[in-house]
Chain A
């Protein structure tokens, strides 16, 4: 799959050029993307912290997660849309930067982590809702999530250099 010619073509489309070279549009989208971190990672953190037993341990794990979830979803939609626009504004830069490739890989892994959690782990929580220490798989999902999102944020920032 030789994507470079396609990416270069994309880079020169009028929309891409406009998004990239207009002072306001790129800055605005990037600002939304950075501030959206608070709504996305900033909320999913509480799910992760509950999973690893760091916070809200006196409360039902399932309930904590169920109630944070809608907001985390909203946050990730914001991140996804703004992120896609940023990618569309600088396709060639993203494609050729190692940090973006790593970021994309970590995002995919984070996605799998969420899928795994919903398919295999979430239903098992019910018996352990009141426990401080949750089953090891739930904790693993939590730690993995924290690590992955940390890595994703770091990669995002370092796109400016690598």
Chain B
């Protein structure tokens, strides 16, 4: 199961690789690795900022600030991290588009990413609203969903390379 098998024709992925950015990175010695390093740093900031608020929602995190206050402080960083991670992810995808089109974990990662974003920007925002009592079930459930969703995106991301090595091609 992959994007190419299910949704998009090979020509789309070939077009992606032929874009200026895709081509540049594909034939550059270090650019992909540099992008990937920045991607990892973005992930660290993303997980770190959502984790602290989710722990608060679970009732085990920071006690000084209310959930809303904590979120007010950290959400900007989550958005920066998201932007950064996506901004580094897109060029990486473009440079390897043909292989990504056939990569199962990549398809899952994109689906999981959409879920994670949906959860983050809908029910999680409701759970963080001022006036929500501490430690209520809704908050705990949302926190678990949030943590699991981002973790699965990261796991699927890791599986991309694993899938490629399993099928005989070396990643990057």
Residues of A within 8 A of B (CB): 23, 27, 30-31, 34-35, 37-39, 41-43, 45-46, 55-56, 59-60, 63-64, 67-68, 71, 150, 153-154, 157-158, 160-161
Chain B: residues with Cβ within 8 Å of the partner, total of: 30
Q: Residue A153 contacts which of B33, B44, B61, B77 (CB distance < 8 angstroms)? A: B44
Interface of B, secondary structure class, is helix
Interface of A, secondary structure class, is helix
Contacting residues, chain B, for A157 (C-beta < 8 A): 33, 36-37, 40
Q: Residue A42 contacts which of B33, B49, B162 (CB distance < 8 angstroms)? A: B49
Q: Are B48 and A67 in contact (CB under 8 A)?
A: no
Q: Are A56 and B48 in contact (CB under 8 A)?
A: no
In the assembled complex, the CB of B57 is this many whole angstroms from the nearest CB of chain A, namely 14
Q: Are B64 and A41 in contact (CB under 8 A)?
A: no
Which A residue's beta carbon lies closest to that of B62? A67
Q: Are A42 and B44 in contact (CB under 8 A)?
A: yes
Q: Are A34 and B48 in contact (CB under 8 A)?
A: no
Q: Are A153 and B37 in contact (CB under 8 A)?
A: yes
How far, in whole Å, are A161 and B37 apart by their CA atoms in the complex?
13
Q: A42-B48, A68-B52 are in contact. Are A150 and B61 (CB under 8 A)?
A: no
Can you report 26 residue pairs joining A to B where beta carbons are below 8 Å apart?
A23-B166, A34-B154, A35-B154, A37-B43, A38-B44, A39-B47, A39-B51, A42-B51, A43-B48, A43-B52, A45-B44, A45-B48, A46-B74, A55-B74, A56-B65, A59-B64, A64-B62, A67-B61, A67-B63, A68-B52, A71-B55, A71-B61, A153-B44, A157-B40, A158-B33, A160-B33
